[in-house]
Amino acid sequence: MGFWSNRSVMVTGGAGFLGSYVVEKLKTLGCPRIFAPRSRDHDLRDRQAIRRCLDQARADLIIHLAAVVGGIGANRRNPGRFFYDNLVMGVELIEASRLGGVEKFVAIGTVCAYPKFTPVPFREEDLWNGYPEETNAPYGLAKKMLLVQSQSYREEYGFNSIFLLPVNLYGPRDHFDLEASHVIPALIRKCTEAVESGAREITCWGDGSATREFLYVEDCADAILMAAEQHNDSSPINIGAGFEISIRELVQKIAAFTGFTGSVQWDHSKPNGQPRRRLETSRAELLFGFKAKTSLDDGLKKTIEWYRHVGRTTLQRV
């Protein structure tokens, strides 16, 4: 707590899914000055807007979580936007932070930056051994460029920035809009609505064979703050839970936890995405002591409970 007690911290995306947990944990840790710019007030793609934002924040440390994100469908519909917005936000913000004398910058990458056929488990040294999976390559590559910037700025300017690679996140406050959501919130919503309507089947994308690793959002927030406090090197660091589950098995779990007993139809015309995903996570544990605490079953149950009592109400108001 001593590390944070005299810090001024800016959290981009601080009102978003992951950012809201990071901001709450910063408050718990005694951070006295937290600035979370909102996109409606500060366009982080615009250089002048970023400068005004930094002048207002007067931050010692910046955690850059703001991103344009979505599931496979959203990535396929918006490849240009996902590439441009994410690239420009990060590049301009890091440059402005360097020029403005920010002491430390925490850049958040994505597991989507890994090559499509990375050997499992994904190791940080495999990051450049191929092209990302096509459906989310523009997003993954935009984020990957922040690693290049982080490393080159440290080499030339001595700028202290770190780069973290979280795996797929889930948890309460996630986005449950079926047009843009990731797989867990989409499945929770489909199963819950099927139970309520009496529907006897749901339809899922692909064939269910792809595997994924999922990290509970609060665990990810812990990892980010542990790294921000203890880690000072620009090498990429995986942030994950260290397990792998097929989408078919995931559907079965969510169906059981929501009470859905109908059948699952697989739409083979839709893509599976990357064939397999699981991170090798020992580097994070070694360098700053992070190890995921929340089991997938516990995390799913908490997320379903939140959706039933809060998330669904929010959707109905939109």
Q: Residue 301: exposed, middle, or buried by beta-carbon count in 10 A (0-12, 13-18, 19+)?
A: middle
Report if residue 189 sits inside a domain.
no
Is 114 an annotated catalytic residue?
no
Q: Which of 37-51, 179-193, 217-231 has the highest mean pLDDT?
A: 217-231
Provide the CATH number for the domain around residue 220: 3.40.50.720
The answer, yes or no, to whether residue 314 has pLDDT greater than 70, is no
Q: What is the pLDDT of residues 263-275, one digit of tens each?
A: 999 999 998 888 9
Domain that holds residue 83: 8-170+214-243+276-294
pLDDT for the residue 318? 41
The answer, yes or no, to whether residue 228 has pLDDT greater than 70, is yes
C-alpha 89/C-alpha 76 separation (Å) is 20
21, 114, 131, 139: which one is catalytic? 139
C-alpha 80/C-alpha 109 separation (Å) is 18
Q: What is the pLDDT of residues 140-169, one digit of tens each?
A: 999 999 999 999 999 999 999 999 999 999
C-alpha 279/C-alpha 213 separation (Å) is 8
What percent of the chain has a predicted confidence (pLDDT) above 70?
97
Domain count, the chain: 1
Strand segments (E) across 68-148: 104-108
Which amino acid does the sequence have at 99?
L
Q: What is the mean pLDDT of residues 168-197?
A: 92
Report if residue 104 sits inside a domain.
yes
Report if residue 53 sits inside a domain.
yes
pTM for the whole structure:
0.94
C-alpha 206/C-alpha 120 separation (Å) is 21
Quick one: pLDDT band at residue 197, thresholds 50, 70, 90? Answer: very high
